[in-house]
Structure 1
Amino acid sequence: MDSSTLSPSVTTPRSIERLVAGQPTSDGAGVRLVRLLTQDLQRRLDPFLMLDNFGTDRPEDYIAGFPDHPHRGFETVTVMVQGRMRHRDSAGHEGSVGPGGVQWMSTGRGLVHSEMPEQQDGAMEGFQLWLNLPARTKMGEPWYRDIDAAAVPVWQGEGVRARVVAGRTHGVAGAVERDTTEPLILDLELAAGARFEQPLPAAHNAFVVVYRGSALLGGRELARGPMVILANGGDGIVLEGGAAGARVLLVAGQPLGEPIAQYGPFVMNSNQEIFEAVEDFRAGRLA
């Protein structure tokens, strides 16, 4: 499909609200990463709960991986850029994902899983996004899917390649769609000077992360690294590739507007539900 087909028109583009540098930290058994979407931003970026960016070519920074740990009440979306990761969980799911692939897991009422590197050396890079579940489905059955790079739908425009992980762009449906939160997750590749437009409802929360090169938004150059929170309003998003082009993760979604109660790997709507999640885990009642 070329850029002349189903070309959207954004007349009032969103502006930049703020840049978030993120917090260098470690998780799992010592995996080094930058946490871009932290707990204090959950309300502002509802329905998204967390965004981690991991990226290193030092095996000692990732080789210990993420051994068995529990979850309840949300979905995890892992987008791999480089390297390979294997998933196993207590509900019987297992799979691996390589460069360009995606792992999508709905934790539902709860499970225990691990995410371990399938390599001893080389670069490991990617993003993990936590997407909240609405209260009515938090106790649903756990669900898991591996999506190979070749299975991620792609829209190709003039100087633009959009890998559609979730949602829709330019008439192309993503690998996963969700009715309530309507997540849009695009992995964009922009050539120098190439323009990409994405219509978006004014109330949907949205952010972008440039992870290669640089991009322009509202005339401002965005360099690699920070999460860029976009102001609500307008009718969409307009991005342009910088002098050397760019790779950009674009994320947006419809807020749930529900209470958020989080204790580590459990995200529910009340403290009582958190207590129950902890007790269920201790008693071995997760999937």
Structure 2
Amino acid sequence: MCGAELRPVLAVKAVVEMPYHSFDGISGASMLRVDNRWIDPFIGVDSYTLRSNPFGPHPHAGMSAVSLTLPESEGGTINRDTMGDHSRIEPGDLHWFQAGRGAMHEETPASPGSTEHGLQIFVNLSRANKGADPVGLRVKHADIPIVNFEGGNLRVVAGEFDGQHSPITHDARWLTRVNMLDVTLQAGASVDIPVKQGDNAFFVVRSGSFEQMDGVDTAQSAIIFEASEQPGESIARIKAGSQTLRGVFFSGTPIKEPMFSGGPFMGNTAEDIFAYKRAFARGEMGHLSASH
């Protein structure tokens, strides 16, 4: 983009393989789990293909569970939660389940037997926000800005790029503000994405080849960039190799707080997890029966 030549290009810290986990033989996900200091405020990413309903109702607290259904999906997802939502997430939509102090949800294929492609992204909340009321935030596919450039395009799913803002940025309830960009590049094409000083940045490859690692199978891997401590912005350069590259770029400001995980709960201490479990047992996160 204009002016990119004046900004330093971030080095690649690591290429991390995302091992595939089968849920039930017909659905599964390639999962990113790394040293949190590399991806904070993100916790992890599951790059999934679903043809069934492997998960029933379950709780979350202290974090957000984010669903990005990719436009090439054959069918959408039915979302149900204990805040009263029962709606359809269509191909290309973003659904941000910001659990805060705790809530339950269920996501099931809207058309069983069809194939759904997407990413489930787990995003941390700061301690100041872990007790917030739970809320579901949504951006429809038609409302997500698309930036076209030579050799490719990207959808501004969350955050901003090149003067375009996702509608979620205008919602004051959105507590952990990050960038999520759905990128498609033809072979040999590239795009430079600004990254603020100190922010973490990484790119999850869905398919194709990443030019900096041409000759290495980067499909279903994550490209982790070095964080820059230089004043001002740097750029993360995403360049396709000999194949069309498809993936999602993530960046955000690290929360830099202690993290203690307890399954679907994310706290700062073990006591936080015990408190969430007690709240769940008391029914404070609501009740949600499984769909039939």
Map of 1:253 onto structure 2: 252
- Which amino acid in 2 is paired with 1:14? L
Secondary structure at the aligned position of 2:57 is classed as strand
Secondary structure at the aligned position of 2:168 is classed as coil
Secondary structure at the aligned position of 2:131 is classed as coil
Q: Are 1:228 and 2:228 counterparts?
A: no
Distance 1:204 1:27 in 2: 33
* Cα deviation, residue 24, structure 1: 2.5
Q: Are 1:91 and 2:114 counterparts?
A: no
Q: 1:242 to 1:218 in 2, by over 3 A?
A: closer
1:86-235 mapped onto 2 (5 Å cutoff): 86-177=78-169, 181-217=176-212, 223-233=218-228, 235=234
- Which amino acid in 2 is paired with 1:283? R
Q: 1:30 to 1:67 in 2, by over 3 A?
A: farther
Distance 1:187 1:197 in 2: 14
Q: 1:167 to 1:149 in 2, by over 3 A?
A: same
Distance 2:142 2:184 in 1: 16
Are the equivalent residues in 1 in contact too, given 2:129–2:175 (CA < 8 A)? no
* Cα deviation, residue 169, structure 1: 0.8
Unaligned 5+ residue runs, structure 1? none
* Cα deviation, residue 28, structure 1: 9.4
Are the equivalent residues in 1 in contact too, given 2:15–2:218 (CA < 8 A)? no
Q: Which stretch has the larger CA shift, 172-181 or 114-123?
A: 172-181
Length-normalised TM-score, structure 2: 0.86
Deviations 1:5-27 (A, max 9, x none): xx341532112111111232255
Distance 1:67 1:31 in 2: 14
Map of 1:21 onto structure 2: 17
Q: Which stretch has the larger CA shift, 265-274 or 230-239?
A: 230-239
Deviations 1:143-181 (A, max 9, x none): 112322111122122222110111111111123238875
Q: 1:148 to 1:182 in 2, by over 3 A?
A: closer
Secondary structure at the aligned position of 1:176 is classed as helix
Distance 1:185 1:13 in 2: 19
Distance 1:117 1:232 in 2: 37
Which protein is richer in strand relative to its size? 1
- Which amino acid in 1 is paired with 2:69? M
Q: Are 1:69 and 2:69 counterparts?
A: no
Are the equivalent residues in 1 in contact too, given 2:80–2:87 (CA < 8 A)? yes
Q: 1:218 to 1:237 in 2, by over 3 A?
A: farther
Length-normalised TM-score, structure 1: 0.87
Moved over 6 A (4+): 218-222
Are the equivalent residues in 1 in contact too, given 2:139–2:168 (CA < 8 A)? no
Q: 1:171 to 1:42 in 2, by over 3 A?
A: same
* Cα deviation, residue 30, structure 1: 8.7
Q: 1:121 to 1:30 in 2, by over 3 A?
A: closer
Secondary structure at the aligned position of 1:121 is classed as coil
Are the equivalent residues in 2 in contact too, given 1:166–1:174 (CA < 8 A)? yes
Unaligned 5+ residue runs, structure 2? 287-292
* Cα deviation, residue 218, structure 1: 7.9
Deviations 1:217-245 (A, max 9, x none): 48887632111111122611112233332
